[in-house]
Amino acid sequence: MKHQGVFITLEGIDFCGKSTQADMLVRHLKECGHEPLFLREPGGTALSEKVREILLNRGDVDVTDRAELLLFLAARSQLVDEVIMPAIESGRIVVCDRFYDSTYAYQGYARGLPLDVITEMNTFATFGLVPDLTLLYDLAVEAAQQRGTGTVPAHDRLEKEKVDFHRRVREGYLELASRDPDRIRVIDADPDPAEVWKRTWELTRQSLSEHGIELDEK
Ligand SMILES: Nc1ncnc2c1ncn2[C@@H]1O[C@H](COP(=O)(O)OP(=O)(O)O)[C@@H](O)[C@H]1O
Ligand SMILES: [Mg+2]
């Protein structure tokens, strides 16, 4: 029997362990006889990679909060049309490191852009595509920063602002999860990677099974 694919997204603050878990997930799905498609946002198409460069290396280029939102959505829209939809339609498992929950958490909850506007524009950009499963890796901001830089954040004003920003991102994610608990599953990202992986796989396996996808687990 031919099935539609499954769309899984990974979310969480910087350095919480998304890429580590995504890598383990993609490797394990291959071991189980699948050909997962791995993507990370923003990126994944020629246009989206150009937008990624603008967003991640802005240097002295001013980008307003609204312009930033539109750039993320432009990159996402191209990715959905060109890559994600065709892959799902052909029955593949698509794993995406960040997707639209990042927009709500960062541009909405942390930067303060209106959530209803984000919803409307995101729906337009994605044709209403919703992930089948979203794994939210929850970790305290200080613990994440320690993973990223090996240091605890300093206490000057700028550092405090940064920490407060990432706290709002984290709280925003948890709020999203509480509103949509069937799709967004919160995983405690504090234990070691092997322990976190157990939960990643448990939730993924459950979702794949609900979608009728067989796993050839060795
Ligand atoms: N569960 C974990 N415990 C401790 N360190 C971790 C864990 N998961 C990832 N790391 C390390 O933390 C850093 C950030 O992880 P990464 O997966 O790149 O996070 P993200 O993609 O969310 O930014 C990396 O150096 C990684 O090896
Ligand atoms: Mg990463």
Rounded-to-integer distance, Cα 61 and Cα 53, Å: 12
Question: According to the model, what pLDDT value does residue 218 have?
Answer: 67
Rounded-to-integer distance, Cα 34 and Cα 25, Å: 11
Q: Which pair of structure tokens corresponds to residue 153?
A: 């954040």
Question: According to the model, what pLDDT value does residue 143 have?
Answer: 95
Average pLDDT over residues 24-35: 96
The structural domains of the chain, with segments of one domain joined by +, span: 6-210
Q: pLDDT by residue (tens digit) across 189-207?
A: 999 999 999 999 999 999 9
Going from the Cα of 40 to the center of ligand 2, the distance in angstroms, rounded, reads 8
Question: According to the model, what pLDDT value does residue 151 have?
Answer: 78
Average pLDDT over residues 148-152: 81
Question: According to the model, what pLDDT value does residue 149 have?
Answer: 83
Q: Which CATH code for domain 6-210?
A: 3.40.50.300
Supply the residue whose CA is at minimum distance from atom 12 of ligand 1: 147
Average pLDDT over residues 91-116: 98
Instruction: Give the predicted TM-score (pTM) of the model.
Output: 0.96
Going from the Cα of 128 to the center of ligand 1, the distance in angstroms, rounded, reads 31
Rounded-to-integer distance, Cα 218 and Cα 209, Å: 16
Could you tell me how many residues make up the chain? 218
